[in-house]
Amino acid sequence: MEERIIDAEPTNNVYDTEVIMGSTSSGNLTFNSYREIMTFDENDEPVTFITNIFNLSKEDIIAIYKNRWEIEVFFKWIKQNLRIKKFIGYNENAIKIQIFSALITYMLIYLSCKARNTEVKYSMLMLTRIIRSNLLEAYDEYFIEYFKTG
């Protein structure tokens, strides 16, 4: 393993290093280059990114990884709150429809929890369970009573 510093003067506590790893055990000289970018988070803890992208700046690489992390957190939130366990379709349009449908459902439940003027307050979890258990039933009187004003 060999290390070579790409940026000799670290800026804003960001270190950029090229790491060359390889093996000669099989008789073939196989070497791969990787880029190690180390920065620090708001608690001064080191955060290291390993990539094989050399044509982007270290700031761009850090931004890409941060955006990727935000996407991971977003999908974790979707799985926990919107109960999307798997996608029904695999093309872009099918995924968008499923996510938007789940978001609309979540927002309607949230708004109904906040907007009711009754003494009985349901949590979002309880209201979601009520809706799921009665999803295919006709309960016109229930909804009239549930959403009545005054």
Residue 19 shares a structural domain with residue 51? yes
Residue 77 shares a structural domain with residue 124? no
Q: Do residues 145 and 126 make contact, with C-beta atoms less than 8 angstroms apart?
A: no
Q: Is residue 7 part of a domain?
A: yes
Out of 33-37, 43-47, 96-100, 118-122, least confident range: 118-122
H/E segment holding residue 70: helix 58-77
Q: Which residue has the higher pLDDT, 141 or 109?
A: 109
Structure token digits, residue 19: 């790491």
Q: Is residue 64 part of a domain?
A: yes
Residue 9 shares a structural domain with residue 70? yes
pLDDT digits 0-9 by tens, 124-145: 778 778 777 776 666 666 667 7
Q: Is residue 137 part of a domain?
A: yes
- List the domain range (segments joined by +) for residue 32: 2-82
What is the count of structural domains for the chain?
A: 2
Please tell me the pTM assigned to this model: 0.50
Residue 115 shares a structural domain with residue 76? no
Q: Is residue 20 part of a domain?
A: yes
Q: Is residue 87 part of a domain?
A: no
H/E segment holding residue 15: strand 15-23
Residue 76 shares a structural domain with residue 99? no
